[in-house]
């Protein structure tokens, strides 16, 4: 059942991959919105998702993930279908709010559902396998979109991408409806009535992890996914097809390397794994700048594809540490609430990233990359100095290598 869900998740991310490299390009070049306005539209999607996520955690602890997952995907389908027909900013903001509400509900529900289907020992491997499925879908979708837009850069091509994305959300909702039982233990339900977000707010260690990783998501995921494509189109020789190839390099590397990387990262302390991801993103952010000096489309595309691979290596380390860490910190009866804050962290970072990046990109394109690199470097140094403050898995603490891996997987929070 979990593998079937992962297949459906890959199809869903295929639809998302069709639009993610070209969202700002569509709103700016086709619909005529200012770059900063386009950035704020994307921020609204994930900003709304951020607002929706916390109440979803309480509902998940009471009612289980299935109905919320279905409703969230159908809501996202409606919002993204609407994007195909917007011609004024207020319409785009309305569709963004609808889409974001669906993402906030479905993202939290999906994480919670799949964690209930795996054992604690399988969490690192399952998060890795979930990223393989989602990145496979993203890579194929982005590549297909790049060639579609390269062959016909007109309104109808962009509308097609958004409508297909909406169809994949609806199809995933139907798959969940037909195949997934709504598992909700009575004991957990009774305990959830006693739990409140105050219990989450008292977990300082968890809140520090969340706060730091919001910033990492901004400089590691959001700048790469949302700001690099319009920067490359405007300031380098890379064209739409090249954007698809760059995205494919990132996602294909993750598909191939994520599970082997998970085995390597499991031998590292979590603080060191976070620091490694920060260092890799620092290098990748700085490596974007030389692309503006290359006068060949092929050369610029190859360089940025290499940048995308460095980003991917950092993602491989970051994802397989962060998700299991949150799950380990969560009491069973508050899993939904902890996962809702985890989802809130991801959506907050991805919401702030396009907004901040869009404004900085309009004011000083180079500052996006050296400024982001400086932030990532400082965070990485902080992780190295954190010592034992970041908890390790129980099996690592006991000195027993955790090598058991299972086929079940959880979806990633940042896509």
| Spatial separation of the C-alpha atoms in residues 60 and 56, rounded to whole Å | 6
Identify the structural domains of the chain with CATH numbers, from first to last. Answer: 2-397 (1.20.1250.20)
**pLDDT tens for the chain, residues 1 to 415:** 667 777 788 888 899 889 988 898 899 989 999 988 998 998 898 778 878 877 887 788 777 788 889 999 999 999 999 999 999 999 999 999 999 999 888 888 887 787 777 776 766 776 777 778 887 887 788 888 888 888 877 898 999 999 999 999 999 999 888 887 765 544 344 444 455 677 788 888 888 889 999 999 999 888 998 899 999 999 999 988 898 889 888 888 888 888 888 888 888 888 899 999 999 999 999 999 999 999 999 999 999 999 999 999 999 889 888 888 888 888 877 877 888 888 778 877 877 888 898 888 888 899 999 999 999 999 999 998 886 777 776 554 433 333 333 322 333 434 3
| Three-state SS at 184 | coil
**H/E element, 36:** helix 35-63
| Spatial separation of the C-alpha atoms in residues 333 and 367, rounded to whole Å | 44
pLDDT at 412: 42
pLDDT at 410: 32
pLDDT at 184: 54
| Spatial separation of the C-alpha atoms in residues 36 and 322, rounded to whole Å | 31
| Spatial separation of the C-alpha atoms in residues 15 and 200, rounded to whole Å | 34
Would you state the structure tokens that stand for residue 247, as one six-digit string? 């995205």
| Three-state SS at 414 | coil
pLDDT at 314: 93
Helices (H), 64-117: 66-83, 89-115
**H/E element, 407:** none
| Spatial separation of the C-alpha atoms in residues 176 and 182, rounded to whole Å | 10
Would you state the structure tokens that stand for residue 88, as one six-digit string? 């004024």
How many beta carbons lie within 10 A of that of residue 63, not counting itself?
A: 16
pLDDT at 195: 53
| Spatial separation of the C-alpha atoms in residues 2 and 167, rounded to whole Å | 21
Pair 255, 135: CB distance under 8 Å? yes
Query: Under 8 Å CB-to-CB from 64, ≥6 apart: which residues?
Result: 182, 183, 184
Question: Among candidates 337, 349, 317, 286, which has minimal Cα distance to 124?
Answer: 317
CA-to-CA dists, residue 345 to 17, 50, 52, 323, 409, angstroms: 21, 8, 12, 11, 20
Question: Among candidates 358, 337, 367, 394, which has minimal Cα distance to 53?
Answer: 337
| Spatial separation of the C-alpha atoms in residues 123 and 114, rounded to whole Å | 10
Q: How far apart are the first and last CA of the chain?
A: 22
Inter-helix orientation angle 35-63/89-115, to 10°: 40
Would you state the structure tokens that stand for residue 262, as one six-digit string? 């998970």
Pair 237, 297: CB distance under 8 Å? yes
Question: Among candidates 310, 317, 319, 312, which has minimal Cα distance to 252?
Answer: 312
């Amino acid at each position: 059942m979990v593998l079937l869900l992962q297949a459906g998740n890959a199809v869903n991310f295929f639809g998302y991959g069709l639009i993610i490299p070209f969202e700002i390009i569509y709103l700016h070049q086709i619909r005529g919105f200012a770059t900063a306005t386009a950035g704020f539209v994307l921020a609204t999607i994930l900003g709304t998702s951020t607002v929706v996520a916390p109440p979803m955690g309480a509902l998940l602890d009471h009612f289980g993930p299935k109905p919320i997952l279905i409703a969230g995907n159908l809501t996202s389908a409606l919002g993204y279908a609407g994007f195909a027909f917007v011609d004024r900013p207020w319409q785009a903001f309305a569709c963004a709010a609808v889409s974001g509400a669906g993402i906030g509900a479905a993202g939290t529900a999906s994480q919670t559902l799949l964690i209930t289907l795996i054992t604690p020992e399988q969490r690192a491997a399952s998060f890795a396998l979930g990223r393989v499925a989602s990145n496979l879908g993203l890579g194929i979708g982005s590549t297909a979109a790049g060639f579609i837009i390269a062959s016909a850069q007109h309104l109808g091509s962009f509308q097609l991408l958004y409508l297909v994305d909406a169809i994949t959300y609806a199809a995933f909702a139907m798959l969940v409806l037909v195949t997934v039982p709504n598992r909700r233990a009575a004991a957990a339900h009774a305990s959830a009535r006693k739990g409140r977000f105050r219990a989450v707010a008292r977990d300082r260690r968890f809140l520090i992890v969340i706060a730091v990783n919001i910033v990492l998501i901004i400089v590691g995921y959001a700048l790469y996914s949302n700001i690099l494509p319009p920067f490359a189109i405007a300031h380098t020789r890379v064209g739409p097809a090249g954007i698809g190839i760059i995205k494919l390099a990132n996602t294909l590397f993750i598909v191939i390397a994520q599970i082997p990387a998970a085995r390597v990262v499991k031998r590292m302390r979590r603080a060191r794994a976070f620091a490694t991801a920060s260092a890799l993103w620092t290098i990748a952010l700085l490596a974007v700048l030389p692309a503006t000096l290359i006068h060949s489309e092929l050369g610029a595309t190859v360089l940025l594809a290499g940048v995308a691979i460095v980003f991917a290596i950092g993602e491989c380390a970051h994802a397989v540490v962060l998700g299991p860490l949150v799950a380990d910190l969560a009491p069973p009866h508050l899993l939904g609430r902890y996962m809702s804050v985890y989802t809130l962290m991801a959506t907050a970072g991805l919401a702030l990233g396009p907004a901040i990046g869009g404004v900085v990109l309009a004011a000083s394109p180079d500052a996006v990359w050296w400024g982001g690199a400086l932030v990532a470097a400082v965070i990485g140094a902080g992780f190295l100095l954190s010592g034992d403050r970041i908890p390790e898995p129980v099996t690592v603490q006991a000195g027993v290598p955790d090598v058991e891996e299972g086929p079940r997987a959880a979806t990633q929070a940042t896509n």
